Amino acid sequence: MSTFLELGLKEPINKALTDLGYEKPTVIQEKAIPQIISSTTDLKAFAQTGTGKTAAFSLPILELLDENNGNVQAIILSPTRELAVQIGNNIKDFCKYLKNVKVTTVYGGSSMEEQIRSLKKGSQIVVGTPGRTVDLINRRALKLGNVQWLVLDEADEMLNMGFKDELDKVLDATPDTKQTLLFSATFPREVESIARNYMTNPIEITSGQKNQGAENVSHEYYSVTERTRYPALKRIADLNPDIYAIIFCRTRRETQEVADNLIKDGYSADSLHGDLSQGQRDSVMGKFRKKTIQILVATDVAARGLDVTELTHVLNHKLPDQIENYTHRSGRTGRAGNKGVSIVLVNGKEKGKLRQIEKIIQKKFIESKVPSGKEICQNQLMNLIDKVQNIEVNETQISEFLPSIFEKLEGLEREELIKKFVSLEFNTMLAYYENAKDLNDLSSRDNSRARASDENMTRFFINIGRKDNLNPGKLIGLINEQNIGDKVEIGSIDILDTFSFFEIDKNYEDKTLSAFLENQPDFDGRSVNVEITKKERGGAGGRRGGKKPFGKKDGGFGRRRSSDSSASSSRRSSDSGSRRPERRSDRPDRPDRSSRASSERSTGSDRNSGGFGRRRKES
Number of other residues whose CB lies within 10 A of the CB of residue 528: 18
| Shortest Å, Cβ 346 to ligand AMP | 22
For residue 26, state whether it binds ligand AMP (rule: CB under 6 A): yes
Distance CA(500)–CA(462), nearest Å, equals 5
User: Considering beta carbons, is residue 331 or 340 the nearer one to ligand AMP?
Assistant: 331
User: Considering beta carbons, is residue 153 or 260 the nearer one to ligand AMP?
Assistant: 153
Residue span 293-312 as binding mask against ligand AMP, x where in contact by CB under 6 A, dash where not: -----------x--------
For residue 51, state whether it binds ligand AMP (rule: CB under 6 A): yes
Number of other residues whose CB lies within 10 A of the CB of residue 269: 29
User: Considering beta carbons, is residue 57 or 288 the nearer one to ligand AMP?
Assistant: 57
Distance CA(64)–CA(16), nearest Å, equals 16
Candidate segments 48-56, 353-361, 458-466, 602-610, binder of ligand AMP by CB under 6 A:
48-56
Candidate segments 43-51, 104-112, 228-236, 309-317, binder of ligand AMP by CB under 6 A:
43-51
Q: Which of residues 324-363 bind ligand AMP (CB under 6 A)?
A: 328
Q: Which of residues 362-381 bind ligand AMP (CB under 6 A)?
A: none
User: Considering beta carbons, is residue 4 or 432 the nearer one to ligand AMP?
Assistant: 4
User: Considering beta carbons, is residue 50 or 542 the nearer one to ligand AMP?
Assistant: 50
Distance CA(4)–CA(326), nearest Å, equals 26
Distance CA(352)–CA(598), nearest Å, equals 39
User: Considering beta carbons, is residue 30 or 270 the nearer one to ligand AMP?
Assistant: 30
Distance CA(59)–CA(453), nearest Å, equals 46
User: Considering beta carbons, is residue 91 or 488 the nearer one to ligand AMP?
Assistant: 91
| Shortest Å, Cβ 83 to ligand AMP | 8
**Contact residue for ligand AMP among 25, 213, 331, 545 (CB under 6 A):** 25
Question: If binding means CB under 6 A, how many residues of this protein chain bind ligand AMP?
Answer: 13
Distance set, CA 354 to CA 337, 450, 483, 503 (Å): 26, 18, 19, 15
Candidate segments 6-14, 22-30, 245-253, 334-342, binder of ligand AMP by CB under 6 A:
22-30
**CB of 227 closer than 8 Å to CB of 347:** no
| Shortest Å, Cβ 171 to ligand AMP | 23
Distance CA(400)–CA(420), nearest Å, equals 23
| Shortest Å, Cβ 320 to ligand AMP | 10
**CB of 345 closer than 8 Å to CB of 316:** yes
For residue 52, state whether it binds ligand AMP (rule: CB under 6 A): yes
Beta strands 530-532 and 457-462 are antiparallel
Candidate segments 30-38, 47-55, 255-263, 558-566, binder of ligand AMP by CB under 6 A:
47-55
At 397, which amino acid appears?
Q
For residue 53, state whether it binds ligand AMP (rule: CB under 6 A): yes
**Contact residue for ligand AMP among 8, 50, 213, 591 (CB under 6 A):** 50
The SS3 assignment for 542 reads coil
**Contact residue for ligand AMP among 8, 22, 496, 541 (CB under 6 A):** 22
Of the candidates 457, 478, 567, 551, which has an alpha carbon nearest to the alpha carbon of residue 520?
478
Candidate segments 49-57, 137-145, 252-260, 423-431, binder of ligand AMP by CB under 6 A:
49-57
Of the candidates 354, 359, 367, which has an alpha carbon nearest to the alpha carbon of residue 320?
354
For residue 54, state whether it binds ligand AMP (rule: CB under 6 A): yes
Of the candidates 502, 463, 153, which has an alpha carbon nearest to the alpha carbon of residue 352?
502
User: Considering beta carbons, is residue 246 or 457 the nearer one to ligand AMP?
Assistant: 246
Residue 151, phi then psi, degrees to nearest 5: -110, 130
Sheet of strand 490-495: strand arrangement:
490-495, 500-505, 457-462, 530-532
At 38, which amino acid appears?
S
Distance CA(606)–CA(617), nearest Å, equals 7
The SS3 assignment for 96 reads coil
Where does this chain bind ligand AMP (CB under 6 A)?
Answer: 22, 25-26, 29, 49-55, 304, 328
